[in-house]
């Protein structure tokens, strides 16, 4: 409640003090709409971006061991994002990524430490096609992809339609996204010869989302975006190797969750160019789902510019959620509970994330060379580094390092 009030006063104060002192001598060189979602933009040059990240976490509430046990995990990921203009009105984007992770919690699926389940790889490929229609105000995009790890495969399919106002100050997008997933069922070692305990209704999971997004320019320095989304999930929504222990019995079971889940996230983004060198990027989200989780998330980032090339961005994110009605900690479930989980991701928690981003992006690029093509010049246009620390109220701690290198081929 206190957080919501602070946010309201913050908005009202900035709404009244909004600046109208636009430097009209500075012409808009790009003439593009700042409202367009990144994936929908029609580019004129080939862009090749590299994204690397390192993630580590530790805690003591692993769901694999029933809500008590190490959650130590390290994840290394590399992603290449390529955008190729096919002609002046269409664009093809390809994203290829690989993750490698080691996990102390999944190592506890069986009794052998450092076994096959202690590490895994994940590969993913996504393709996106965007077409701007002849009226230059409507565009559509289609996307598809696949991601696979040793016990899980996921196929993605989606489409979006965007309509922009003639003055490019308002934009409406409707988008649909589906994921068709399939598990390779792996159960805790000690339960594999007990089919009455490990019986699950299906090895499939589907997620379908429909979202409506409205973006509005409020002033020459301020813009807003609202998103309403509905997500329907069906199938095996529990994880087959998550254990559950009971308060009243010396018995081990696997996690059980309903086969249907409906989620409604409502998001609001608000950006304000406060002064010549400070921008406020803020976001709020309210979340509701049929598992009983209600959540509020607030995010603020303050990019500070040093000249035209450098910027530093401190940021802070607060998240608070209520527990799912199916959650209980280690040894607190009753045998009569039809659905049960000891996964602390579904528990009542608060989390704080904070960190710093750095960007070096000179107007004419960091360097030029002939690397991807002999005839064309490649420009190393931007370099970004970002660090985030994450603290969850149940003791989980995480760190994320991300490095982004952007190239453009002329």
Partner 1 sequence: MMTKERLKNKGSLLLLAVIVFSAGLQSCVSVKAYQKMYLNDQDMQLSIRKIEIPELNFQSYREGASGGSKGKTGGGCGCN
3 state SS of 202: coil
Q: How many residues bind partner 1 (CB under 8 A)?
A: 125
Of 67, 69, 93, 106, the residue at the interface with partner 1 (CB under 8 A) is 106
Nearest approach, Cβ of residue 273 and partner 1 (Å): 4
Nearest approach, Cβ of residue 345 and partner 1 (Å): 6
User: Which CA distances in Å does 192 have to 126, 198, 217, 239, 349?
Assistant: 35, 7, 58, 15, 33
Nearest approach, Cβ of residue 173 and partner 1 (Å): 10
- Is residue 45 close enough to count as binding partner 1 by CB under 8 A? no
Residue closest to 94 by CA, chosen among 70, 123, 125, 72: 125
DSSP readout, 357-394? EEEE--TT-SEEE-SS-SSS-EEEEEEEEEEEEEEETT
The span from the first CA to the last CA of the chain, in angstroms, equals 52
- Is residue 256 close enough to count as binding partner 1 by CB under 8 A? no
User: Which CA distances in Å does 298 have to 4, 283, 355, 383, 400?
Assistant: 9, 6, 15, 27, 19
The window from 135-143, 246-254, 363-371, 394-402 that contacts partner 1 (CB under 8 A) reads 394-402
One character per residue 120-149, x = contact with partner 1 (rule: CB under 8 A): x-x------------------------x-x
One character per residue 154-183, x = contact with partner 1 (rule: CB under 8 A): x-x----------xxx-------xxx-x-x
Nearer to partner 1, 250 or 276 (CB): 276
Nearer to partner 1, 128 or 223 (CB): 223
- Is residue 381 close enough to count as binding partner 1 by CB under 8 A? no
- Is residue 328 close enough to count as binding partner 1 by CB under 8 A? no
The window from 128-136, 191-199, 244-252, 286-294 that contacts partner 1 (CB under 8 A) reads 286-294
Q: H/E element holding 182?
A: strand 170-183
Rounded to an integer, what distance in angstroms lies between the CA atom of residue 202 and that of residue 363?
Answer: 54
């Amino acid at each position: 409640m206190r957080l919501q009030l602070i946010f309201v006063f913050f908005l009202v104060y900035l709404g009244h003090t909004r600046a109208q002192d636009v430097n009209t001598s500075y012409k808009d060189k790009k003439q593009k709409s700042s409202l367009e979602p990144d994936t929908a933009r029609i580019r004129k040059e080939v862009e090749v971006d590299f994204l690397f990240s390192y993630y580590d976490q530790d805690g003591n509430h692993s769901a694999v061991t029933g809500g008590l046990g190490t959650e130590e995990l390290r994840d290394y990921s590399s992603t290449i994002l390529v955008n190729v203009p096919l002609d002046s009105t269409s664009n093809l984007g390809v994203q290829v990524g690989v993750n490698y992770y080691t996990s102390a919690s999944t190592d506890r699926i069986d009794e052998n430490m450092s076994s096959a389940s202690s590490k895994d790889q994940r590969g993913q490929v996504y393709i996106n096609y965007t077409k701007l229609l002849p009226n230059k105000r409507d565009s559509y995009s289609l996307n598809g992809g696949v991601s696979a790890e040793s016990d899980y495969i996921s196929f993605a399919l989606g489409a979006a339609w965007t309509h922009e106002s003639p003055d490019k100050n308002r934009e409406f997008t409707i988008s649909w996204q589906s994921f068709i997933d399939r598990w390779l069922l792996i159960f805790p070692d000690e339960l594999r010869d007990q089919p009455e305990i490990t019986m699950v209704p299906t090895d499939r999971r589907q997620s379908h989302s429909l979202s409506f997004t409205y973006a509005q320019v409020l002033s020459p320095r301020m813009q807003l975006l609202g998103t309403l989304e509905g997500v329907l999930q069906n199938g095996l929504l529990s994880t087959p190797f998550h254990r559950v222990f009971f308060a009243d019995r010396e018995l081990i079971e696997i996690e059980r969750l309903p086969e249907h889940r409906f989620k409604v996230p409502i998001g609001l983004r608000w950006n304000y160019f406060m002064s010549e060198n400070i921008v406020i990027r803020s976001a709020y989200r309210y979340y509701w789902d049929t598992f009983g989780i209600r959540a509020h998330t607030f995010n603020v980032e303050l990019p500070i510019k040093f000249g035209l090339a450098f910027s530093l961005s401190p940021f802070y994110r607060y998240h608070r959620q209520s527990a799912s009605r199916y959650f209980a900690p280690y040894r607190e479930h009753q045998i009569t509970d039809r659905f049960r989980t000891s996964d602390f991701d579904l528990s009542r928690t608060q989390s704080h994330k904070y960190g710093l981003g750095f960007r070096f992006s000179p107007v004419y690029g960091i360097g030029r060379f002939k690397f991807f093509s002999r005839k064309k010049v490649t420009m190393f246009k931007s370099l970004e580094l970002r660090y985030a620390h994450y603290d969850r109220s149940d003791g989980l701690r995480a760190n994320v390092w991300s490095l982004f290198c952007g190239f453009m081929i002329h």
